[in-house]
């Protein structure tokens, strides 16, 4: 897996441009990867709802839950689906809107200096082995392209009390063996 330095995108996966992003603040190296989980509607896997959510194309009439998120404008850089397929929505040099109110050490607004990776899943359903495999490959590629990245955390770690993903189902032990050198977990 490789990140093209000209586009700041993984060159081997489909790109669906999300409008929900903007410029990072100047002189702000990327330091952190935030792991999330998402499923739409919650607990249902497959389909294209996540993709449509991140591109503001979700039809609120399609499902009662979609009505509750109709005004949200969010994104992640990359989604890793349960079958291991992936989509990129925001180039890594841009600021995706994934972390919200958040804190890493004594720093706030984690979106400024982080990359957001969504795993298709819930807090309680075991993630698939191929998702761990892909996540490891993405982290390797990120570390190679952006050596300033030095940490990976769950959304719950940077927004405690407000967010719970990727939840107890996420096996940090499985990730630890796949972490690139120079990138640490909590």
Among 9, 24, 36, 87, binds Zn ion (CB under 5 A): 36
120 lies in the binding site for Zn ion (CB under 5 A): no
Report the distance separating Cα 66 and Cα 40, nearest Å: 8
| Nearer to Zn ion among residue 7 and residue 96 (C-beta) | 96
Beta-sheet strands, E only, within the chain = 3-4, 9-10, 21-23, 32-38, 78-80, 86-88, 94-96, 103-104, 107-108, 114-120, 151-154
Could you tell me if residue 167 is left (phi over 0), alpha (psi between -120 and 50 degrees) or otherwise beta?
left
| Catalytic residue check, 51 | no
51 lies in the binding site for Zn ion (CB under 5 A): no
| Nearer to Zn ion among residue 24 and residue 98 (C-beta) | 98
Min separation Cβ 34 and Zn ion, Å: 7
- Closest alpha carbon to 120 in 78, 174, 176: 78
* Backbone CA torsion sign across 115, 162, 170, 125: negative
Catalytic residue among 31, 51, 118, 120: 118
Q: Which stretch binds Zn ion (CB under 5 A): 2-10, 12-20, 34-42, 101-109?
A: 34-42
| Nearer to Zn ion among residue 7 and residue 79 (C-beta) | 79
153 lies in the binding site for Zn ion (CB under 5 A): no
Catalytic residue positions, numbered:
118
- Given the rule CB under 5 A, which residues bind Zn ion? 36, 155, 165
């Amino acid at each position: 897996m490789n990140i093209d330095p000209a586009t700041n995108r993984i060159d081997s996966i489909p790109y669906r441009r999300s409008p929900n992003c903007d410029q990072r603040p100047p002189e702000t190296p990327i330091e952190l990867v935030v792991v999330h989980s998402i499923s739409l509607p919650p607990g249902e896997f497959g389909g294209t709802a996540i993709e449509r959510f991140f591109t503001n194309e979700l039809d609120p009439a399609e499902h009662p839950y979609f009505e509750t998120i109709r005004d949200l404008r969010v994104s992640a850089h990359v989604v890793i689906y349960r079958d291991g397929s992936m989509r990129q929505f925001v180039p890594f040099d841009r600021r995706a809107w994934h972390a919200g109110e958040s804190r890493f050490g004594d720093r706030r607004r984690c979106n400024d200096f982080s990359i957001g990776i969504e795993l298709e899943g819930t807090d309680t359903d075991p993630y698939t082995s191929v998702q761990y495999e892909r996540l490891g490959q993405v982290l390797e590629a990120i570390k190679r392209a952006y050596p300033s990245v030095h940490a990976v955390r769950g959304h719950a770690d940077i927004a405690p009390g407000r967010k719970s993903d990727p939840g107890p189902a996420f096996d940090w032990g499985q990730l630890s063996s796949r972490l690139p050198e120079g990138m640490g977990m909590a």
